[in-house]
Amino acid sequence: MPQECNSCLYDDKHPFGMAFKDRTCLGCLTHKEKQTLDWQARKDKLIQITHKLKRHSKTYDCVVPVVGDAEDYFTVNEVLDLGLRPLIVCVNDYFKNDIAWHNLHNLITHFDVDSFVFNPDMNVYKELVKTSLRKYEHVLLPFLQLHTSFPVHVAYERKIPMIIWGQHQAIEQVGKFSHSDEVEMSKWSRQQHDIFTVDIDKLMGNGAQVQQRYVNYYRYPNTQALQKRGTTGLYLSNYIPWDPLKQNYNALTYGFIPQRQIATFDIYDRAGSSIYYDLHDLLKLKRVGYRKCVDHLVREIRHQRIKPTHAQTLADHYMNTPVNIKPFFNWLGVTSSGYEWFIEHKLSGMKHLLSKEPLSESVKLTKKISDLLVNGESPQRSFILFGKGIDI
Ligand SMILES: [Zn+2]
């Protein structure tokens, strides 16, 4: 029997690992800190830490890694409020639809910040995605490896002293540490929580036929070299009481476009991804027993915008929503028979969740949640390959 939390919908199968105290998960217990910590003092500490950066740096004070998500709007806004000059760095995952590209370009334009988008070698990337799918039944690992290492390389190479991230997911979801521990970015934390212990070498060994020199940026920089240069990374969620739905709602005022989803009510989180709520969500269900909607519902239970019983009803609905995964296999260049093989052998228990034309049913949300939502848009085009010349 899995151990379940009395307060939220998580159990001990959470991919970050979950501990319990008196039948309540540590994620719920750590969340309660948000009502008790002195957040003004924590913000003052953030101001103090980041103030030092301004004296240190000749060009940029910090690197801010983004994907163009609503949460990135919040993070960039906070960084600018701190008086910092950021360099915005985005790794192209090649899964962005038109909404995602709008949101990324609008973020850069609205806040008028210097930026660049890194477009990894497409053949190498696809080879890694294929291997990741075959060996780990995960399609985002190559992107996650790059997203959590490339910006650190940029900071190191350009002598930019700090990387500023938004939330520390393992604290927000499973309460791995207290906010007041002020956990910093580290190779260990990346290994455990961002890439689930699958580093690039695991994809290379017995797998992807890729030359080592093509994957340097998929690997985290040498820790001693980072220490010597003084490159560090912090998470804003340790200094600001993190409330994603509320924060992301505010991104609308900056021109962020939310996306209507059928597998969750959250129109902000990962808006613009062509796979996040489709194949990635089904593989997540297979690996850990739940889909992304549960993370969203747990978050809303903790912020007291929905009761656990109501959240469970919604989870049952969203968990059974069929999606169309075929476009991903087209993108990867898999033949129809390869696609059929994958369904037969890897998703045999999930055929009821596959549909070419997913249907959307309306669900009853609480007022506290729906007050923070608007009508999301639907993408016109998926898998747009910006950054690689021709998009056909
Ligand atoms: Zn809990």
> How many other C-beta atoms are found inside a 10 Å radius of the C-beta of residue 96?
26
Query: 3 alpha carbon to ligand 1 midpoint, in Å?
Result: 11
234 lies in the same domain as 270? no
Identify the pLDDT of residue 243. Answer: 97
Helix (H, G, I), strand (E, B) or coil at 354: strand
Q: In this structure, is residue 385 part of a structural domain?
A: no
233 lies in the same domain as 274? no
101 lies in the same domain as 161? yes
Closest CA relative to residue 27, chosen from 237, 274, 257, 302: 302
Residue finishing a domain among 238, 273, 301: 238
Query: 243 alpha carbon to ligand 1 midpoint, in Å?
Result: 16
More confident position, 308 or 56: 308
pLDDT mean over 369-380: 91
Query: 345 alpha carbon to ligand 1 midpoint, in Å?
Result: 34
Query: 173 alpha carbon to ligand 1 midpoint, in Å?
Result: 9
Q: Indicate which CATH number applies to the domain containing 153.
A: 3.40.50
89 lies in the same domain as 187? yes
- Residues 253-294 have pLDDT tens digits of 999 999 999 999 999 999 999 999 999 999 999 999 999 999
Q: In this structure, is residue 210 part of a structural domain?
A: yes
DSSP per-residue string spanning 106-163: HHHHHHT-EEEEE---HHHHHHHHHHHHHHHS-SSHHHHHHHTTHHHHHHHHTT--EE
Query: 170 alpha carbon to ligand 1 midpoint, in Å?
Result: 13
The amino acid at residue 61 is D
347: left (phi over 0), alpha (psi -120 to 50) or beta: alpha
What is the Cα 233 distance to its own chain's centre? Answer: 17
Q: In this structure, is residue 15 part of a structural domain?
A: no
Q: Which domain holds residue 114?
A: 34-238
Q: In this structure, is residue 13 part of a structural domain?
A: no
Identify the pLDDT of residue 388. Answer: 58
Give the Cα separation of 71 and 269 in Å (integer).
Answer: 8
Q: In this structure, is residue 375 part of a structural domain?
A: no
Query: 139 alpha carbon to ligand 1 midpoint, in Å?
Result: 27
Tell me the torsion sign for CA atoms 258, 165, 120, 334.
negative
233 lies in the same domain as 310? no
Query: 306 alpha carbon to ligand 1 midpoint, in Å?
Result: 14
For the chain, the average pLDDT equals: 92
Q: In this structure, is residue 387 part of a structural domain?
A: no
231 lies in the same domain as 352? no
Q: In this structure, is residue 386 part of a structural domain?
A: no
Q: In this structure, is residue 203 part of a structural domain?
A: yes
Query: 245 alpha carbon to ligand 1 midpoint, in Å?
Result: 18
123 lies in the same domain as 172? yes
Query: 10 alpha carbon to ligand 1 midpoint, in Å?
Result: 6
Structural domains in the chain (count): 2
Identify the pLDDT of residue 392. Answer: 44
Please check the confidence at residue 216 and state whether its pLDDT lies above 70. Answer: yes
174 lies in the same domain as 62? yes
pLDDT mean over 315-327: 94
